Structure 1
Amino acid sequence: MRVVSGTHKGHRLYSVPTHKTRPTTDKVKEAVFQIIGPYFDGGVVFDCFAGSGGLGIECLSRGAEKAIFVDKEPKAIKTIWDNVRALKLEDHVEVFRTDAYRAMKAAGKRGITFSYVFLDPPYKKFSYEDLMQKLLEHELLEDGAVVVCEHDISEALPREVGPIRQFKQEEYGSNIGVSFYQKEE
């Protein structure tokens, strides 16, 4: 696993030493960023169910100004910090060991809004519709924000959740699906 592009291109990332996380492969990561834009002019990223933090770190490498990482697993939190420190990104991140819903509620209370959201929960254990509903309920999405959901291809994701509309869905390999959404302005 590595940073695919940007200021930290080629830097190897530590993986979470557990079977409970599935890192997004470099191939999938590269494809995702070709769809949502190869580079960013600022913006705040919410990497939820972050694992090693690879997606949020990729955004920072490509020009995002800040990333918030959330995961419940202690080994994931340690790995995120190891990767962040190795790249000297401490001033651009916040890392929280909590569940997704608590993190969303806390971010809403702080008035944080996100330009990019990555939802990559354990397959078939969370409702993507519920997660997106919470993003709306806590007013966490900027107008035009992009939400990327990685899921098992057998899962049927909604075409829209309120003003969040799916604009693309891709399949990678035999079981990985990625659905792309944007909040209408």
Structure 2
Amino acid sequence: MRVISGIRKGHNLKSPKGKNIRPTEDKIKESLFNIISPIIDDAIVLDLFSGTGQIGIEFLSRGANKAFFVDKSNISISIIKENLLHTKLLDKSIIHNKDARVALKLFTEENLEFDYIYIDPPYKEYELVTQTLEIIVCNNLLKSTGLIIIEHDNDLILDDRIKTLIKIDIRKYKNKSLTFYRIGDKI
């Protein structure tokens, strides 16, 4: 697992042994960034259910201004910190060792808005995806020009519309999918 592009291109990232954390495959990560490029200058990014932190790190490497990493696993938080130190991106990062829903409420209290929100929840926890999206929308955590990307298994079929969010794209890769949402009408 490595940083694919940007100022930290080629840096290897640590990943835990075992199957509890499923890092996004390089092929999917590369496809994701090809789809959303160019990154908004000085973007604020939220990497929910961060695991290794590789998605937020990739955003930072490609020019994002700040990334927020959220994971409730102590092991994941330790790996995220190591990866941020190794890539020298810790100064552009804020790490929260919390349940995603608790962190989202905290961000609401802080009046934060994000340009990109990447959601990679534990697979098969379908209700968690909907709950997370509803919290984001109801609390205006996504900027009006922002983008939500959800990584999930192919068994999960997400609604075309969730409150003010419109599904604008879905990409399938073997057993995983990336689903993209924006606020308002299709672009």
- Please classify the TM superposition score into its range, dividing by the shorter chain length: over 0.9
TM-score (norm: length of structure 1): 0.95
> Does the Cα contact within 8 Å between 1:18 and 1:75 map onto a contact in 2?
no
Q: Which residue of 1 aligns with 2:151?
A: 150
Q: 1:24 deviation in Å?
A: 0.2
8 Å CA contact 1:40, 1:62 repeated in 2: no
In the other structure, the counterpart of 1:136 is 137
Unaligned stretches of 5+ in structure 1? none
Contact 1:6 1:62 in 2 (8 A): yes
**Partner SS state of residue 101, structure 2:** helix
1:39-66: per-residue Cα shift (whole Å, max 9, x none)? 3311110000000000000000111000
Stretch moving more, 53-62 or 10-19: 10-19
- The answer as to 2:109 corresponding to 1:112 is no
Q: Counterpart of 1:143 in 2: which secondary structure?
A: strand
Q: How does 1:1-185 map to 2 (within 5 A)?
A: 1-127=1-127, 128-173=129-174, 175-184=175-184
CA contact (8 A) 1:44 1:116 kept: yes
Q: With the length of structure 2 as denominator, give the TM-score of the two structures.
A: 0.94
Q: Which amino acid aligns with 1:20?
A: N
Post-superposition CA distance 1:53-91 (Å, at most 9, x none) = 000000001110000000011110000000001111121
Structure 2 residue runs of 5 or longer lacking an equivalent are: none
8 Å CA contact retained: 2:126, 2:156: no
State the alpha-carbon separation in 1 of the partners of residues 143 and 122 from structure 2: 26
Structure 1 residues 7 and 40, CA gap change in structure 2 (3 angstroms): farther
CA 1:12 to 1:40, structure 2 compared with 1: closer, same or farther past 3 Å?
Answer: farther
> How many pairs were matched up?
184
- Quick one: which amino acid aligns to residue 130 of structure 1? Q
Structure 1 runs (4+) greater than 3 angstroms displaced: none
**Per the alignment, in what secondary structure is the counterpart of residue 31 of structure 2?**
helix
Aligned counterparts of 1:184 and 1:144: Cα–Cα separation in 2: 9
Q: Is the 8 A contact 1:151 1:177 kept in 2?
A: yes
3-state SS of paired residue (1:4): coil
Q: Which stretch has the larger CA shift, 70-79 or 126-135? A: 126-135
Return the offset for 1:38.
4.0
Q: CA deviation at 1:19?
A: 2.1
